Amino acid sequence: MFLFFNFISARNLYVNIKESKSKNCFEKEGCDLEALRTTIKRGDNIFILDKFIDKENSQELLEILNQTTNKVISINGHDTTIVSPNYPFIESAAIYAEDTQIHISGFRFTDFRIPILNAQRSVFNISDCIFENTDASLSAILAFIACNMTIRNVKLTNLNANTQSIFLAINSTISFEKSNITSNFIESKDIRAALHFMTSKVSFTDSYFEGNIIELPLIAGASNSSIDISQSNFYKNAPLTLIAVESYSNCTISDTKLKLNKNPIISAVRGGISIVKNVEVTEHYTPTCLYGFTDSNLSILSTNFNNIQITQLATCITQEFPDYTLKLENVGIFDSTSVNSIFSQTGGRIIANNLNVTKLSSDADIVIISHQNGIETTMDHLTLQLISSTIVISTALASVNITNISLTNFDFHSNSICGALFENGTITVKNSSFVTNECLPRGNSIPLAILTTSATPNVYIENNTFKDNTALTGAVFFANVSGKVVNNKFYKNQAVQGGSLVGNLMNITVENSDFVRNTGYNEGGVASFMNGSVSFSNCNFVGNQATDGGVISSKNCTNITITNSVVKKNSAEHGTFIHDENSEVIWIADTEIDDSLSEAMFITKEYDLSRAKFNCKVRCLEPKLEDVKKLLKRDEEKVPEATNNAKAEEGKDDEEIKIDQENEEEEINIKGDKNTSMVVFLIIPIILLFLIFIIIKRVGYRNIFVFINNFGSKDNRYIL
């Protein structure tokens, strides 16, 4: 504004170097350079009428401008091309200013071999200019210290700074508007970036970056700098990285499109904050990560990535400061490939909300999010579909040694990888669905959905659906954990071991859950457990199947409890309900089982049937003590290693096998009713056959044949 008021009252001087010999610079025909030298004063507006200024005249013109004392001037070209003066290679610039205000517009600076602009403690307004075909080797082409600048509709193109930056600003504020930065080249690695800002605030609005191929960052901010890029386009650039920030510098990219670029978009080190918002990234390729951060915050918001080929999308490492955060919100990744994890972080926090990854091919063992040794992993409304990996043992999500892990509203379907690996932390999985996925690695048994290992204190799995999944070891695998599985649905899952649940050294409680038509090809149509404790309450087990244990297969468990549950239409070669070896206690209460005791249970130790109802296909029958003994004897023959234990416990009879006596009496009555029904069913046909025989004997065979032959004729006078 101060600059504007200075120019309001300024004089207008017109210069026509080649065509005019006038000494009056106030006439619109223009004066020559000699007249300009004697006329120019502070605050003048200078209008150059020439279309082209050659080396000799450009040298004289620039000398006049630089010699103006305390110049507050406006230099306006008429789409004027000005070439490099006949200066030797010097470090000082063609236009140099200190403690002044300058407006430059309408010029094309071309073929310079020295820096073009250099200023300190000044206010610059540059508009409608082109800086091109310049090779500066001693200093930056455009360099500013402690300046306030507005750069509007300016083009920087075909600039080659072998040992220096194209644009350098220190302690300055710079605004680029409608600017065009294209086809620039830097091969030196001795400088920081093509556009380098230190302790500065810089913004690019409605600007265009194309074809910049440099072995350095295109834009860099250091020492508490701020870089803001909005409503801009990046096309076919291949710098070392598009933007680099360090030393507590910040970067924001918003409402911007990037297409066919190579290498990282942002690299940040030491304490910066970077925000990517409303950005479209298309057909991007990088052999490294798209966003690389060390001890820095990164937020990617409302951004889509289409058809990108990357090693990683974002990798974040916290070394000195454990509190840094990777935030993902409303992010989409489509039709892309990756080599390593899409998002990887060591330390700090990952907060992901509304992340959608569809049709991704990966070469990683952890494909989407990998987080270790951090404070928090929070993931809400994630959608992962049509994801595959060339690694035979691969999973979508992994959080290891994280204090708190939360996965809610997760939609994981139609993938050829496992779901998640969570280790060491408080883990919550809620309101999620795992549908039609394949987790079939070769070698180790990896779970389809969730794996927790190594002394996890709390695990909560609530209101989830697991349907039509295929795995080696069930939908959920527990190891060394204690937790709850509440209000979940497991439908038509298939596994070699444990169609839905697999556990080792676990202490889990399953409540209000449905297990329908799951298959464990070897063992455990619903679940397979070893060396732990498990409790089922208010659950439905319907139509599950396995070779051993149509519902549950267990070994060496301390306690298996089933209460208030329904067991129907399950099948197995050995134990349609439970197949157990050497577990301490199996306790069943208030549970309806539609199979006989001998078919439902295949065990090696005694168990407690408290109000359990068997064989409900016809009438509910409680097991007799003799049936339990026969069952134990049969299991001894199949499991030799349990023989001694079974024989020792067989003599405990009623003390160890608690069968309610009243229910046993009721069983006798029910069995009597059943036997009566069978007798009636067999006797009635016998009585009918006897009556037919008496009739034939009484009437005679001959009379019966005559009656049959003449039946219906008028001459039939036989009466039977």
In this structure, are residues 172 and 149 in contact, taking their beta carbons and an 8 Å threshold? yes
CA atoms within 13 A on the CB side of 331: 27
Secondary structure class of 590 (helix, strand, coil): coil
User: What pLDDT is stored for residue 236 in this prediction?
Assistant: 96
Tracing tokens 């899409």 back to the chain, one arrives at: 342
Q: Could you report the per-residue pLDDT of 604-621, keeping only the tens digit for each?
A: 776 677 767 765 433 333
Q: Could you report the per-residue pLDDT of 172-196, keeping only the tens digit for each?
A: 999 999 999 998 877 665 667 889 9
Those residues of the chain that have pLDDT short of 50 are 1-8, 442-445, 616-675, 714, 716-720
List the beta bridge partners of residue 109: 82, 131
DSSP-derived letter for residue 262 is: B
In this structure, are residues 334 and 361 in contact, taking their beta carbons and an 8 Å threshold? no
Taking alpha carbons only, the member of 217, 277, 211 closest to residue 242 is 217
Phi (first) and psi of residue 515, to 5 degrees: -125, 105
Q: How many residues does the chain have?
A: 720
- Reported as type and span, the H/E element at residue 39 is helix 33-39
User: What do you get for the CA distance between the two ends of the chain, in Å?
Assistant: 130
What is the rounded CA–CA span in Å between residue 308 and residue 22? Answer: 62
Count of beta carbons in the 10 Å neighbourhood of residue 98: 13
Locate all alpha helices (DSSP H) within 342-479, ordered by sequence: none
What is the rounded CA–CA span in Å between residue 209 and residue 194? Answer: 12
User: What pLDDT is stored for residue 478 in this prediction?
Assistant: 84
**171: its two tokens:** 């302690």
What is the rounded CA–CA span in Å between residue 471 and residue 446? Answer: 8
291-305 burial by CB neighbour count: b if 16+ within 10 A, else e? bbbbbbbbbbbebeb
In this structure, are residues 529 and 557 in contact, taking their beta carbons and an 8 Å threshold? yes
Enumerate residues 6+ apart whose C-beta is below 8 A from 517: 491, 492, 542, 543, 544
User: What pLDDT is stored for residue 633 in this prediction?
Assistant: 39
User: What pLDDT is stored for residue 443 in this prediction?
Assistant: 41
In this structure, are residues 226 and 199 in contact, taking their beta carbons and an 8 Å threshold? no
Tracing tokens 């497991």 back to the chain, one arrives at: 490
User: What pLDDT is stored for residue 294 in this prediction?
Assistant: 86
Taking alpha carbons only, the member of 484, 488, 457, 487 closest to residue 475 is 488
In this structure, are residues 207 and 179 in contact, taking their beta carbons and an 8 Å threshold? yes
What is the rounded CA–CA span in Å between residue 140 and residue 196? Answer: 10
3-state secondary structure 327-382: EEEEEEEEEEEECCCCEEEECCEEEEEEEEEEEEEECCCEEEEEEEEEEEEEEEEE
In this structure, are residues 383 and 357 in contact, taking their beta carbons and an 8 Å threshold? yes
Phi (first) and psi of residue 687, to 5 degrees: -65, -45
Instruction: Give the orientation angle of helix 643-650 with respect to helix 625-638, to 10 degrees.
Output: 160
453-482 burial by CB neighbour count: b if 16+ within 10 A, else e? beebeebebbbbbbbbbbbbbbbbbbbbbb
Locate all alpha helices (DSSP H) within 40-155, ordered by sequence: 55-67
Taking alpha carbons only, the member of 262, 293, 288 closest to residue 276 is 293
What is the rounded CA–CA span in Å between residue 198 and residue 190? Answer: 16
Tracing tokens 């080929």 back to the chain, one arrives at: 309
What is the rounded CA–CA span in Å between residue 430 and residue 442? Answer: 29
In this structure, are residues 500 and 527 in contact, taking their beta carbons and an 8 Å threshold? yes
CA atoms within 13 A on the CB side of 660: 14
